[in-house]
Structure 1
Amino acid sequence: MCLGNVHAANVPVGFADRLIATGLNSPTSMTILPDGRVLVVQQNGIIRTIKNDALLPGNFYAVPNVDSFSERGCLGITADPGFATNHYLYIYCTVKEGATSHNRIFRVTESNDVAVPGSEQLILRLPNVPAGVQWHMGGALRFGPDGKLYVAVGGQEDLREPVETSNSQNLANPFGKILRLNPDGTVPPDNPYINTAGAYSYNYNLGLRNPFAFDIQPGTGLMYINDVGAGTWEEINRGQPAVNYGWPAYEGDNNDPRYTNAVFSYSHTTGCAITGGAFYNPLNTQFPASFTGKYLFADFCNGTIRTLDPANPTVAADFVSDIANPVNLAVAADGSVYYLARNQNVGDSADVGSVSKIVFTNSQVPRITQSPQSRTVFLGDPITFTVAATDATSIQWQRNGVAIPGATSTSYTIPQTTAADNQAIYTAVTTNSFGTATSAPAVLTITSNRFPVPSITTPAAGAGFNAGDTVTYSGTATDAEDGTLPASAFTWRIDFMHDTHSHPFMAETTGQSSGSVIVPGFEADAPNTWFRLYLTVKDAAGQAETVFRDVYPFGQLSELNPVGTPRNGEGPIELNMNNGEAAAGDGSTISLGRIPYAKGIGVHAPSDIRYDLGGTCTGHFLADVGIDDIAQGAGSVAFQVLLDGQVAFDSGVMRGTDLRKTVKLSIAGVKELRLLVNDGGDGNTLDIANWAGARVSGCPVPTPAPPPSTTPPTTPSTETPNPSPLGAGGGGCSMRPDGTFDPTLPGLILAALASVVWRRRKSVR
């Protein structure tokens, strides 16, 4: 059992990544105070203090009446420019008020590492969150050199609305905007829309989707806004008064003079959600001079921090990689860079968030990229500790500071643990010609208490859903010592999954063995979506175990019978995998732009598939199309969709280097859906094409008919997978059965089968 899947980041030579704090519950933001203390905001409203790089045991503050449903919650914090004398802190949270919720900015006063009781002062109450909206709250806060408080507010729309009716384009509300206000909450008289009839007077600019983070450069006042995109582009926008950034008309660059282009944007081939951002202008420069003035930004999905030069913002430079879900960045006065990671991309519990910092050491000693993790195992079970380091020429494992004879590889295994191993401390010393580096210590705890065994009963394996359905969840759990566990031992959670990232939906709910929830229409236009239901049970001794089940929307074409035998350029069409060679079932996971799909149809040009819809559907046909990554940039094809014999979609020639295209077509009353793929005119070598995530909505719920080639390329075990760098140690923390970690493809194997229930062991809490 592990204390959290904290994976050391990959940093350049001369830098070091140091873990500062773990055990944080869904952290969202942080601020560094002038004296070096770090305040970390959790989505649930609990604010923690890090002092001298150690997490203090108590809370700084617990915000009352927080609504942390889905992406609501406490999302931003910043210190007053005069903090050294007034000790003011400003916080952005979603709070409940009767039957409604709203976001508000309020101020508290700090004293002796906690908020002064009764010091909370309301600064600005925003309008109620629109009914039913769960995502895109924004929340970042920064002070500008003008002394004004700037606030990022999300569009507070779950779906892409028409331009004419969208929140982001409506000056009468604060949604999808940057706001500008005086520190006391009053309106600055020089705000850009102060004299615009009907405008929300705090608005500074508009046309943003979900400005999750932004920063203002010390000295220059340059503002960069990280706007999380929808299906294709992520943006960094220059914050200016009275400009319109174009959402929902556009994401990425456009040639429309009504809208201001981003200073930098990148496609979803290199990430999917831009999060933390910070200018590197510390009081004391620690990094090399080339970093000064650069903008650092993180991507939640591919786990990177990159740098952008404001003087030439055309190309971003790689800096740090292999971070598990970074959400926030901050530059300390001493020049180190702190980052906040949620570490939740592969089914972790809520309490695995972490704070780390990057420092410049100017040393070429080995760099520890993966320390062994503290573990709890049953007496007599085996345990494996793993370390990873770059530039190491030798490794020596130690037990309680004493070298273990023969333990000189990247992993160390105890075949059978004994009582004498309890509380033993294991470290790995890595060496090269420049010196040594020692891993963080891992404590081994031996228990005679067996882990509980949870099981999800409903939704059943293979079940589906439609938006608006009421989904019932239930489960059972037994324990070797306690027998059948009561409802008080159960905790449930639901996340919505989209491509390679997740969105919280139902927060952790404890004390019931069953319940129900109405499934919203989140990302209803995106083919690659599903929800993941987690069940964690805890026995009387505190041992916990988690299982989860993936549930996909109804109407997956891979579960419907085509008319006759489809035509395909090489072997049969493949279901829920790409097209391999001539044999059925010889494909691998569908992947477009390094984004994996558990559902879809893999073909090889020329291909022709027909489905009889019977004229009974009222919704849409959805799919992402493109050449599979397995072609490594080769191949050229053209996709067509015919509805009752009429061409409704034509992709044109797509090559292996092209971005995926999303198809959304109304199929109301359509009788025949026909999917064609032809070669691009240069032969069909490596024309490995995907109808990724292909499904129909608004159709009568089908009875799935299992076809002959549904066997996935790898059948994962229902037991604890093998260890991986993401959760090192002896089984139980890894969520990848292949023993590898690739932050650009989180959940690649996990998403392979909705019918598999995966298990991982959690830490004792």
Structure 2
Amino acid sequence: MKLHYSTYFLICFISFLSCAQAKKEKASKETYQVVVPELHIPWGFVFLPDNSMLITEKKGELIHFKDGKKTLITDLPEIELRGQGGFMDLKLHPDYINNGWIYFSYASPEGEGEGSNTAIMRARLENNKLIDKELLYKANPNSTRAEHFGSRIVFDNNGYLFFTIGDRGDKDTNPQDLTRDCGKVYRLHDDGRIPEDNPFYNTPNAKKAIYTYGNRNPQGMKIHPETGEIWTHEHGPKGGDEINIIKPGKNYGWPKVSYGVNYIGTKITDYTELPGMEPPIHYWVPSIAPSGMAFISSDKYPGWKGNLLVGSLKFQYVSRCILKDKKVLSEEKILEGLGRVRTLVQGPDGYIYVGIENLGIVKLLPED
């Protein structure tokens, strides 16, 4: 496996803007248990039918965690570690127990141009090796830029495969151009075929797999457990992180509309909304740098059923979003100060599991 480290500068900033939505600043009393220790950047993880776990480490490792032991899976594709890119999300096929397909996203150097771009692959697991590897989608061209690879994966209730790819730091070219990859949400059949009813399938020169466009860098995506709708969140610039509900063919506005500004404080746009562009159902100013999300559909946490959880990389907490009629009424910070929250999963036991950088995967325990 090739791991290429490029120079990557994180821009730190302080925002004095006020938040656009009501928040509860009180921290909760929930506690946690570390179930998988000593992980660096656990980008994605899934539970296998035997309750063991598969975990992606951004640096390019796939870990099988079972009975307290970590085993590295071999025969991975070529993964390039470049800034925010590396080994990213992971999902099981809805019928995994019968077909064994595992889906994952990663920064791939294959294809046109220097650098890398987001790829979606499926494979099966046998004797701690990946076999039957199939590349389903590869964004082109490659880029040497270090930011905005996306990339979350979900299956909807009809068995379609959805995934996100960020704008790769090229806001003026990629997100609004249907002939180019990046800054989009995509839809495929589970075997990589492009559905003929995709919204731009018959649009001349368009990338036929595109489902929505005008997206900046979505790093959260989940299916609503009651409505079946696809919810995402995405990073804004300095301010303007968003929660969106994904609808076919819609334009989510980036960079023509935004609640944020450039990192140096200059304007990106004069508009927070425009005709023909989908507004977010919620946004954050200042930005929290959201990553990972999960709906609570179990009864493990009294009074929390129906809530949405969103991880914060920047402020190192989980935001419990109380929802009503597709609006965030208020937020409560939980699991503060443990580290950058990368991903959240409701496990088969109904408990919430949280991947936290430089810590591991923790299980959120209800208040006594």
User: Does TM, normalized by the shorter one, top 0.5?
Assistant: yes
Cα distance in structure 2, aligned partners of 1:314 and 1:126: 33
Rg larger in structure: 1
Q: Match of 2:159, SS?
A: coil
In the alignment, which residue of structure 1 is the partner of 2:153?
Answer: 141
1:307–1:61 Cα change, 3 Å: farther
Contact 2:115–2:145 under 8 Å retained in 1: no
Cα distance in structure 2, aligned partners of 1:25 and 1:324: 11
Question: Which amino acid in structure 1 is aligned with residue 107 of structure 2?
Answer: T
Contact 1:136–1:154 under 8 Å retained in 2: yes
Q: How big is each residue's C-alpha offset from its partner over 1:368-400, in whole Å with a ceiling of 9 and x where there is no partner?
A: xxxxxxxxxxxxxxxxxxxxxxxxxxxxxxxxx
The alignment yields a C-alpha RMSD, in angstroms, of: 2.1
In the alignment, which residue of structure 2 is the partner of 1:603?
Answer: none
**Structure 1 residue 193: Cα displacement:** 1.1
In the alignment, which residue of structure 1 is the partner of 2:28?
Answer: 12
In the alignment, which residue of structure 2 is the partner of 1:461?
Answer: none
1:316–1:50 Cα change, 3 Å: farther
1:313 has 2:331 as partner: no
1:90 has 2:122 as partner: no
1:77 has 2:84 as partner: no
Q: How big is each residue's C-alpha offset from its partner over 1:284-318, in whole Å with a ceiling of 9 and x where there is no partner?
A: x3111x32222111111111212231525133320
1:219–1:51 Cα change, 3 Å: farther
Alignment partner for residue 249 of structure 1, among 256, 262, 268?
256
Question: Which amino acid in structure 1 is aligned with residue 329 of structure 2?
Answer: V
**Structure 1 residue 186: Cα displacement:** 0.4
**Structure 1 residue 21: Cα displacement:** 2.1
- Matched-pair identity in %: 23
Contact 1:107–1:123 under 8 Å retained in 2: yes
Indicate the structure whose relative CO is greater, using CA pairs within 8 Å and at least 6 residues apart. 2
Cα distance in structure 2, aligned partners of 1:239 and 1:334: 28
In the alignment, which residue of structure 2 is the partner of 1:22?
Answer: 37
Cα distance in structure 2, aligned partners of 1:170 and 1:42: 32
What TM-score comes out, normalization by structure 2 length?
Answer: 0.83
Equivalence map 1:27-426=2 (5 Å): 27-52=42-67, 54=68, 56-61=69-74, 63-97=76-110, 99-111=114-126, 114-116=128-130, 118-130=131-143, 132-157=144-169, 160-161=171-172, 166-252=173-259, 254-268=272-286, 271-282=287-298, 285-288=299-302, 290-308=303-321, 309-320=323-334, 321-342=336-357, 352-360=358-366, 362-363=367-368
**Structure 1 residue 335: Cα displacement:** 1.4
What TM-score comes out, normalization by structure 1 length?
Answer: 0.41
Question: Which amino acid in structure 2 is aligned with residue 197 of structure 1?
Answer: P
Q: How big is each residue's C-alpha offset from its partner over 1:148-171, in whole Å with a ceiling of 9 and x where there is no partner?
A: 00001111125x43xxxx200011
1:96–1:190 Cα change, 3 Å: same
Q: Match of 2:124, SS?
A: strand
Cα distance in structure 1, aligned partners of 2:216 and 2:241: 10
Q: Match of 1:246, SS?
A: coil
Cα distance in structure 1, aligned partners of 2:309 and 2:349: 16
Question: Which amino acid in structure 2 is aligned with residue 281 of structure 1?
Answer: S
Q: Which runs of 5+ in 1 are unaligned?
A: 1-9, 343-351, 364-765
Higher strand share: 1
In the alignment, which residue of structure 1 is the partner of 2:10?
Answer: none
**Structure 1 residue 61: Cα displacement:** 4.0
Question: Which amino acid in structure 2 is aligned with residue 354 of structure 1?
Answer: G
In the alignment, which residue of structure 1 is the partner of 2:6?
Answer: none
Equivalence map 1:482-493=2 (5 Å): none
Q: Which runs of 5+ in 2 are unaligned?
A: 1-25, 260-270
**Structure 1 residue 358: Cα displacement:** 0.2
Cα distance in structure 2, aligned partners of 1:77 and 1:230: 26
**Structure 1 residue 34: Cα displacement:** 4.2
Q: Match of 1:105, SS?
A: strand
The alignment covers a number of residue pairs equal to: 328
Q: How big is each residue's C-alpha offset from its partner over 1:480-506, in whole Å with a ceiling of 9 and x where there is no partner?
A: xxxxxxxxxxxxxxxxxxxxxxxxxxx
Cα distance in structure 2, aligned partners of 1:313 and 1:144: 22
Question: Which amino acid in structure 2 is aligned with residue 242 of structure 1?
Answer: G
Q: How big is each residue's C-alpha offset from its partner over 1:209-237, in whole Å with a ceiling of 9 and x where there is no partner?
A: 11112111234212111110101211111
**Structure 1 residue 62: Cα displacement:** 5.5
